[in-house]
Amino acid sequence: MSAEFPYVRPRRLRSTPAMRRLVAETRLHPAELILPLFVREGVREPVPVASMPGVVQHTRETLRKAVTEAAEAGLGGVMLFGVPETQDATGTEGTNPDGILQQAIRDVVAEVGDALVVMSDLCLDEYTDHGHCGVLAADGSVDNDATLERYAEMARVQADAGVHLVGPSGMMDGQIAVVRKALDEAGHQDVGILAYTAKYASAFYGPFREAIGSSLKGDRKAYQQDPANAREALRELELDLAEGADLVMVKPGMAYLDILRQIADASPVPVSAYQVSGEYAMVEAAAANGWIDRERMILETLTSLRRAGAEQILTYWAVEAAAMVK
Ligand code: PBG
């Protein structure tokens, strides 16, 4: 190299805030953020989730306020999780037309109408006393096909309550097809499916189990995916598309950016990512100790999910992040 070395200087494009803004490939927008919300039956005050500072189990009243705030923040949508007073072996409250999630859906749709896309978790773990995402066979394993019948019923009651998108998250084989069929047969052709397509058996869901009061002992490794595997995520994608998924999701987020990129490259439908409870808790805990810059960490993790191919992001920071990027 001659005296002019280095004549290629990538630093030029990093030199000022204006220059960096000009060349940024990835931007965050409030409309692509989705806020997960918990609503608990039979409480008069919101109940804080200790492992997720800033997150609460809402009452029906405070849920209405939270979704109004979400709409005002310009978010794309909300994902609702019900926390029932009673749990049993088959998750009866999940299909009770007056169960807490169904009431919450009606409340939220009445409150915000079409200003937000209203989504609901379609899974049994919030409602079962053993904490699994399905009903159990005699040997204690999760019975796939018996669970599908419960999911079909859940899809009907959630759609009857007025939800816009259901989010089947139980990782049962055939769940998208069964939900699609149930919705169509009940006249809910317009209700869409946000499929949890690649959902891993992850330790990152730890705080969520507290948030829904889950009594799970053991794990979900016999139905959620093995963190060691990428290929099966593409197989799940093919199946979910063939069965009628309208959007596909990867979950968790940060530890699965490679999966997200592969799904984003292969998917003809929108791709979402779920920044889950453990990702939130890690950042909040480190920030509370003064070990990291909380706001920068929030924006960096969300930007990384976007960059890896997520077009929608479920995040417990949705309202705050929307304000940051406005
Ligand atoms: C299942 C469900 C879970 C999460 C969302 N839907 C828990 C699980 O599969 O164990 C986790 C979300 C989070 O950790 O933030 N209903």
* Cα atoms in the Cβ-side hemisphere of radius 13 Å centred on 179: 35
Please name the amino acid found at residue 279: E
Residues 59, 64: Cα–Cα separation, whole Å: 9
251 included as an active-site residue: yes
Please count the other Cβ atoms lying within 10 Å of the Cβ belonging to residue 92.
Answer: 16
For β-strands 33-40 and 56-58, DSSP reports them as parallel
Q: What is the pLDDT of residues 98-153, one digit of tens each?
A: 999 999 999 999 999 999 999 999 999 999 999 999 999 999 999 999 999 999 99
Q: Which atom of ligand 1 is nearest to the CA of 199?
A: 9
Q: Which residues line ligand 1 (CB under 6 A)?
A: 121, 123, 125, 133, 169, 205, 208, 220, 276-277
With vertex at residue 166, the alpha carbon angle to CA 163 and CA 167, rounded to the nearest 5 degrees, is 145
CA of 139 to the centre of ligand 1 (A): 24
The pLDDT, as a whole number, for residue 3 is 66
Q: Which residue has a Cα nearest atom 6 of ligand 1?
A: 169
| Domain spans, the chain | 28-325
CA of 186 to the centre of ligand 1 (A): 27
Q: What is the pLDDT of residues 39-86, one digit of tens each?
A: 999 999 999 999 999 999 999 999 999 999 999 999 999 999 999 999
The average pLDDT across 145-169 equals 98
Supply the mean pLDDT for the chain.
Answer: 97
Q: Which of 57, 87, 199, 205 to mutate to test the pocket of ligand 1 (most atoms within 8 A of CB)?
A: 205
Q: One of 65, 181, 199, 326 is an active-site residue; which one?
A: 199
Q: Decide: 157 and 99 in contact? Cβ < 8 Å.
A: yes
The pLDDT, as a whole number, for residue 238 is 98
Q: Is the pLDDT of residue 217 over 90?
A: no
Q: Is the pLDDT of residue 245 over 70?
A: yes
Q: Is the pLDDT of residue 1 over 70?
A: no
CA torsion through residues 204, 210, 211, 216, sign = positive
**20, exposed or middle or buried, with CB in 10 Å at 0-12, 13-18, 19+?**
exposed
Which superfamily does CATH assign the domain made up of 28-325 to?
Aldolase class I (3.20.20.70)
